[in-house]
Amino acid sequence: MMMVRRGLLAWISRVVVLLVLLCCAISVLYMLACTPKGDEEQLALPRANSPTGKEGYQAVLQEWEEQHRNYLSSLKRQIAQLKEELQERSEQLRNGQYQASDAAGLGLGRSPPEKTQADLLAFLHSQVDKAEVHAGVKLATEYAAVPFDSFTLQKVYQLETGLTRHPEEKPVRKDKRDELVEAIESALETLNNPAENSPNHRPYTASDFIEGIYRTERDKGTLYELTFKGDHKHEFKRLVLFRPFGPIMKVKNEKLNMANTLINVIVPLAKRVDKFRQFMQNFRHADEVFRCVPLSP
């Protein structure tokens, strides 16, 4: 009986020890699970700037870049196709190869291409007449007048601001800038044409271009007036070109002699005496310059 009691007490003590150890282990695990993680443990977590995150972002950026490249390539192909079509149409218009639109023209003695070219030239000349190249047209109000813009090799100036403001530099689209360059090149070809000049004339270049003015009317076309340096002092070359929504046409090529031309510069002096005194101090006398200062009481 004593042996049984001793064995039971030993077994109970072992069970109690095991329960105590189990409770301690559970407590330790609970504390580890609920305790906030330190900085070192947080660094072990995956972040957005980890190698895996960077690779993912780079893959997305490369995909977007590839899409943009494909879109730009598609736009460039479309622009190239449109340019080719426009060039073909311009060549057809220049060579007069359109077929006659009316059947009445077929009864004439000339062939259809000749009839078409004659009709085309008649239409272009009518557009020139409508664009006020040779003579002005009476308008209902001053607001109906289309103003000119001035341009040089580098800049384009807006002149419709009138006398209240100074001419302002005007931003120009690339296609409009290309049209101005084409007009200057066409004028240089005309000036350097041997049929219109003496054999000993000097070649004209873009550096001889001084300035030009142009305006575009939506139902007629674009009118250009370009001024170049002449062969002598006080001489200039002025060319008038017209683009009736087609190839550029030469309208006028004339030589200007400004030796005997009087230019009046009128400057108001009211409340500007100091400016006038400074102007007189810096003024340099020349034979072709005359000063006239009218005084009124």
First-last CA distance in the chain: 150
Count of CB atoms within 10 A of residue 213's CB?
Answer: 16
Count of CB atoms within 10 A of residue 113's CB?
Answer: 14
Instruction: Say whether both 115 and 159 belong to one domain.
Output: no
Count of domains in the chain? 2
Instruction: Say whether both 253 and 175 belong to one domain.
Output: yes
Q: Are the beta carbons of 243 and 131 closer than 8 angstroms?
A: no
Instruction: Say whether both 123 and 145 belong to one domain.
Output: no
Q: Is residue 47 part of a domain?
A: no
Instruction: Say whether both 119 and 161 belong to one domain.
Output: no
Instruction: Say whether both 215 and 123 belong to one domain.
Output: no
Q: Which domain holds residue 78?
A: 74-101+110-130
Q: Is residue 27 part of a domain?
A: no
Instruction: Say whether both 248 and 155 belong to one domain.
Output: yes
Whole-prediction pTM: 0.50
pLDDT in tens, 259-284: 787 777 777 777 778 888 887 787 77
Q: Which ranges of the chain have pLDDT less than 70?
A: 1-6, 34-54, 94-136, 159-168, 199, 285-288, 295-297
- Checking 130-137 for CB contacts under 8 A at 24+ apart, the result is 130/220, 131/217, 131/220, 131/221, 131/223, 131/242, 131/244, 132/223, 133/223, 133/240, 133/242, 133/251, 133/252, 134/251
Q: Is residue 217 part of a domain?
A: yes
96: alpha, beta or left, given left = phi > 0 and alpha = psi -120 to 50? left
Q: Is residue 39 part of a domain?
A: no
Task: Tell me the three state secondary structure of residue 47.
Answer: coil
